Every structure is written in structure tokens, then in C-alpha cells.
Chain A
Amino acid sequence: MTVDSPVQPKPRPVRHVPTVDSVTTINTDGSRHDIHPADVHGRFTTARRWSGWGLIAFYLVLPWIPVNGYPAVFLDIAEGRFHFFGYTLAAQDTWLLFFGVSGLGFALFFLTALFGRLWCGWACPQTVYLEHVYRVIERWIDGDAPARRALTAAPLTPGKAAKRVFKHACYIVASLLITHLFLSYFVSLPEVWHMMRSDPGEHWAAFVFVFTAAGILYFNFAWFREQLCIVICPYGRLQSALTDEHSLNIGYDQKRGEPRGKLGTPDAGACVACSRCVQVCPTGIDIRHGLQLECIGCAACIDACDEVMAKLTRPLGLIRYDSLVKFAGGRTRWLRPRTVTYGILLLIGATVAGFAFSSVKPASFLVYRMSGAAYFVGHDDVRNQFLVRLVNKRSVPAVLKVQTHGVPDGVKQTGFDAPVTIPALGEQVSPLVLTIDRKHYTGPFHFTVEVEDEADTFELKRAVEFMGPEPRLLREEEEEREHAAREKEDHANGKTH
């Protein structure tokens, strides 16, 4: 590995030549070095442009598509209902989030072990919005990389000021659009539209949220940019633990490329040291130094190099997607302990998540005791009083039957004689009172409360305990009572006789 920085007696104030020793975008005095990636054309750039715009369209369109009367994805925090393509989850189903998040984690582990930073370059919102919205705006207003660099260096003229104001106004509009759409995932579009036309004071929290979020987005995409990937993003750091020498990444074929030399240099490798790969890099690295933390796997350097190689009629792929092993002349192994382990974890996770999601019922219920004593002993009976809370999680009314099972003979049930209708996304609390007469009472017992819908499409069960005194104590009391009654009777009889 060679370091191609020249020997210098003093630290350079800025570094425009990427090395593996420093971050290109941070100057030696700590100030920022702005990257102006050159335009690039090629198959990966085209594919990335389309997939990026596809992802943005997907994000923008979801709140507009109604499914069952709700937006396709609608996280209704105020009502505690979460709608996904017609599938409604309630706040009670939050535990599923565990499987959602861990599933995404396992999938990312698996894909990273196989393909490296595919996520960063192709799907991460940071890259998608930066490359396909903000840089597009910048390219449109300020021109290509040399023009942008010249404009930055130029003194402030009215023309430059106008361009800057216009560019940043476009950035701000884009940021506001993104955050308003983001808000509509949580409060629905008509509500967002209503809020936008009314006084901010009426919905202060949402107003502050949208404008703070838009401010953060604007700062991030207008100025911060690749610093997020290089300095802040934890996924980038996690990579080194998830990948190995067989993982796919973007690399430079040293064996073919070195030694570099201008066209016509004798004994030179395939690399003509045109530095196109460096000029197009959005994080300012030289991919020829090997795999680096800053690389987000955007494939711009592949397209840049292929373009040059094609012009020189040399084989393409001097820079390409490949594994470190392959670049060193070996063979990539796809099946290895790491990929198998991550694959098995993903499979187990997906199976469990599948079971978990399919076990979610369109209603839920709770049985709890009314306030007061756990049980009541009456003159002839023992009584337990419960409240049943029924929750309809669907966006249509539900007719629910509530029944008790496994109760012994002699139990009388009050409440839920007929099916109850719960309005869409509604709740109802109703009493359920169980009474057993003393003759049949043999101590506390367990029974189940079952809830079914009218069409019997699902069934919910809960085990409940009927509580009561020791039957022995009741019998003793009964005997005492009979004894007292007999004495009283005898006494009365004695009096008359």
C-alpha cells in the first residue's frame, strides 16, 4: 500500500488529495472542505437515479392512497391505531414492533454480510434525498462541478447572491414538503391541510415539529451532507463487524491497475491516473486506497472508471463490486459461517414474526374485578363481579358474543345475555356478574371468558378465577344458622305447648 501524498515539511492548510490518514472533508485547521462531485454517467448511476426516485415516490404517495378508509400507512398516535395497507394494529399490539425492528436488523445483517454497504448507497434516505433531490437542485442552479467550485470562489456579486438565495429557497421548499408529508403519516393528509390553513397556535406542537424537522433537514442536506455518514451514522461503524473479506464491496483491482501511468507509459497497469474516480466521489475518498470507512457504496467511481476504460477500449471493471478475496486473486465464498448464521437468524426471526403477526386478532378484551371486595357472600349465594372491556380494533363495527365456559352447575350469569355491537375502533366496558348458590358451591374455581365475533372468524380467551371463601366455613355458618333456626322454632313450640 502506497501513500501518494508528497513529503512535505509543514502540515498543509487544506488537503485536496485524499489519503487514508485523514478525512478529506476536514481541513487540517478543522474547517470544512466542501465536496463538489463531478457529473457521472453510467449504468449504476442510471439505475440508482430511478430506484432513488422510485423510493421517494413511494414515500410521497403512501399517505394519498386510501385503503379501507384510511391512508395506506397511517400511524394514528392520537387514537393509538396503526394502519398498514388495510391491516390495523392497536396500541395493545406494540409488542409486534419488537419483531418489526429485529426483523429489519436481521435482514440488514444478512444483506450486509453478503453485499456490504448496499443500503447506504442505494436505499438510505440520507443518500436518496441528497443525491436525487438536493444535489439535483444544486446541479440545476449552480452548474457542474467546475462551475460550482468557481462560483464558491467568486466574490459576492448580485448574480451570485441571487443564485444562492434561489438555491437555498429551493432547499427549504423541498425540506418543508418532506416534513409535511412526514407529518401526514401521523395525522392524515386532510388534517395536515387543515392545520396548514389554520392558526399555528391551535396546533402548536405539530407546527413546531414540522418547522424544526424542516430546519434540521435543510441544515443536513444543504451543508452537513456526508459528515452524517462519516462522523455520525452508527451503521457505517457497525459494518466493520458485519462484513468480512468475502463480502461484496466497491474496490479497485490493484493487480490490474498498478503501477499507474499515463497513457503510453511503458510497463504501466490499467489505471491511467486520470483521477475521475476521485472527482466523482461524494465523500471525497480515493477508492484506489482500498476499502475505507467513508465509502457509502454509491458506485459512482465504477461508472466513472468504466467510462474511461471504455474510451480506451480496455476491459471494464477496474473498479467494481467484488470481494477483497477476489481482488487479491482468490475466490469469493458466499456460503460461510457468517452468512449462514445471519441467514438462520433471519429465517427464525421471520418465522416467529409471521406467527406473531398472524396471531393478532381484530379485537381485544380484558376481564377485571369491580372495585370493592374480591367476592361477596350473600344469604344464599357467593358472588363475583367483573368488568369486561371490549376493544374493536377494526375500522368497521363489530358484533361480539361474550360467553363463559367451564363454570360449575348452579352458576347464574348476569350481563352479556345478547351479542354487543362495538362501533368502529370503539371500546365498551360492561359488567359480568357470576353468582353461585351455596348448595352448589365447592370452593374457588377457574373458568374462561370467550369472545367471538358473529361470523366465528376469531376467538379470544381469558382464564379468570372465581374467588370465594373456604366451603367448610360456609357449611359451618349454614349449620349454625339451621341450629339457631331450630332452637328458635323449638322455643316457639315450647311456648305454645
Chain B
Amino acid sequence: MNPPSSHQPTEDSGIPLRPHTYDGIQEYDQRLPNWWLYTLYGAIAFSIVFWFAYMIARVMPTDAARVEAEMSRLAAIRLASSIDVTNDALFWDMSRNPVFTEAGKQTFTSLCVACHLPSLKGKGENPTAVGPNLVDQAWIHGGTPKEIYATVSKGVLAKGMPTWEPVLGQKKTAEVVAYVLSHHQQGEPITIEVPK
């Protein structure tokens, strides 16, 4: 039906024919477009340069080296912005600074209230609440700032307190601790309570 498909190559068209014939089909031996050949030659040249730069001269960093560099760059940022979470005095300072306590209150209101209630009193206010009282002086897992930070960041998995630091990051976790500490006084007596 389609006229060109029935067209047979002929010698008299001036185009050389390949010698082979398969199923009665012959093909012309025509030159590829030069631009096409240049892309091929270009790719070959590039592969040699690439291979030399990566494998021999090693002027280009390997993927592993690049990942490592990026990881250490991130670690440096984290180090530069991280605080000493074992420094009790630092937490007490933060707990008296409204910038930290307000930010901590926001996180607390969105996440912690479900168990510890908006009053922070938890079971102390309502015995059916899930979380313990955070404003009395009795602590289950330690009442010094660094202990509170450890409890919030690592959680108490057996009791249902999740590990918050991977979720919130160090800054927000520290803010929440500052907010809890803003309900306490430095130097107040701490009793360790053993839960029933």
C-alpha cells in the first residue's frame, strides 16, 4: 500500500550497496551525519578524560569522598549550633529567658499536652492522665536539668515516653526542657519517686 516500502535499492541511484542480502532485503551504505559521528567521537573522548580524571589522576573526588565531605560539613553545622546538654546552669538560664520558654511552650502545647496536660500536672491533676506530674518536686527519672533533658531526648520506652530528640532536634528539645524548668526553682529539693 505504502509506495516507498516497495521501493527496491538500485545500483544506478549512485549510492553504494552493502554486499549482503537477507530475506531479499539489501541496504545502502550511506554515511552517517557528521554531527552524529561527532557526538560518538565526543563521547569516546569524554570517557577517556573521565576515566583518567577519576581512576588515574584522581583529580575528581570519588562519590564516597563527596559523601564524607558532605557528612562532615553537616556535622560541623550541628556542632556549631549545638549546646552542652550536661550543663545545668545553662538550662536554668534558658528557663528564665522568655524567648526559650515561649518557644518551648509552643512545642509542649502541640505535642506533650496529650499526656502531661496543659497544666503540666499530668496524673497529679487527673489520675487517668498518661504522663506524670512535671511541676511537683518528685521525679521518676531524675530532676536535674541534664537528667530531664536525657529523659525527653531519649524517652522512656517502657512507659511510652517517645524519644523526642530525633523528632524535634536538639534546639526544640532544649526549649521544652527550659519550659518545664520555668515551673521550678534552682536549688529546690528533689525527691526520687518510684512509680507504682
A: residues with CB less than 8 A from B are 1, 3, 5, 7-12, 19-23, 26, 28-32, 224, 227, 231, 245, 289-292, 324-325, 328, 370-373, 376, 379, 381, 383, 385, 412, 414-415, 428-433, 435
Query: What's the Cα separation between A227 and B33 when bound, in Å?
Result: 10
Q: State whether the Cβ of B19 lies closer than 8 Å to any Cβ in chain A.
A: no
Whether B9 and A21, one on each chain, are in contact in the complex, defined by CB atoms closer than 8 angstroms, is yes
Whether A3 and B10, one on each chain, are in contact in the complex, defined by CB atoms closer than 8 angstroms, is yes
Q: Which one of A7, A30, A32, A245 lies within 8 Å of B12 (CB-CB)? A: A7
Q: Kindly list chain A residues whose C-beta atoms are within 8 Å of the C-beta of B32.
A: 30
CB of A325, distance to nearest CB on chain B (Å): 8
CB of A144, distance to nearest CB on chain B (Å): 27
Q: Other CB < 8 Å A-B pairs besides A30-B33, A372-B162, A385-B160, 9 of them? A: A1-B3, A5-B14, A7-B12, A11-B14, A11-B16, A21-B9, A290-B2, A324-B2, A371-B166
Name the CB-closest residue of A to B15.
A21
Q: Kindly list chain B residues whose C-beta atoms are within 8 Å of the C-beta of A431.
A: 111, 114-115
Whether B110 and A383, one on each chain, are in contact in the complex, defined by CB atoms closer than 8 angstroms, is no
Q: State whether the Cβ of B196 lies closer than 8 Å to any Cβ in chain A.
A: yes
Q: Kindly list chain B residues whose C-beta atoms are within 8 Å of the C-beta of A224.
A: 35
Most A-side CB within 10 Å, residue of B10, B115, B160 = B160
Given contacts A371-B155, A412-B128, contact A291 B33 (CB under 8 A): no
Query: What's the Cα separation between A184 and B7 when bound, in Å?
Result: 50
Q: Kindly list chain B residues whose C-beta atoms are within 8 Å of the C-beta of A428.
A: 110
Chain A binding surface SS class: loop
Query: What's the Cα separation between A8 and B13 when bound, in Å?
Result: 7
Q: Kindly list chain A residues whose C-beta atoms are within 8 Å of the C-beta of B163.
A: 371-372
Whether A370 and B162, one on each chain, are in contact in the complex, defined by CB atoms closer than 8 angstroms, is yes
Total interface residues on B, using CB and 8 Å? 40
Whether B1 and A433, one on each chain, are in contact in the complex, defined by CB atoms closer than 8 angstroms, is no
Ordered by A's residue number, 26 sampled pairs between the chains whose C-beta atoms are within 8 Å are A1-B3, A1-B6, A9-B14, A11-B14, A21-B15, A22-B15, A23-B33, A30-B34, A224-B35, A289-B3, A290-B3, A291-B2, A324-B2, A370-B162, A371-B166, A372-B162, A376-B158, A376-B159, A381-B128, A412-B128, A414-B114, A428-B110, A430-B111, A433-B115, A433-B130, A435-B130
CB of B194, distance to nearest CB on chain A (Å): 14
Name the CB-closest residue of A to B158.
A373
Most B-side CB within 10 Å, residue of A227, A292, A433 = A433
Closest 8 CB pairs of A and B: A431-B114, A290-B3, A30-B31, A30-B34, A376-B160, A370-B162, A372-B157, A415-B114
Query: What's the Cα separation between A120 and B30 when bound, in Å?
Result: 27
Query: What's the Cα separation between A290 and B157 when bound, in Å?
Result: 78
Whether A12 and B33, one on each chain, are in contact in the complex, defined by CB atoms closer than 8 angstroms, is no
List which B165-195 residues lie within 8 A (CB) of chain A.
166-167
CB of B130, distance to nearest CB on chain A (Å): 6
Whether B196 and A379, one on each chain, are in contact in the complex, defined by CB atoms closer than 8 angstroms, is yes
Whether A28 and B31, one on each chain, are in contact in the complex, defined by CB atoms closer than 8 angstroms, is yes
Q: Kindly list chain B residues whose C-beta atoms are within 8 Å of the C-beta of A21.
A: 7, 9, 13, 15, 28
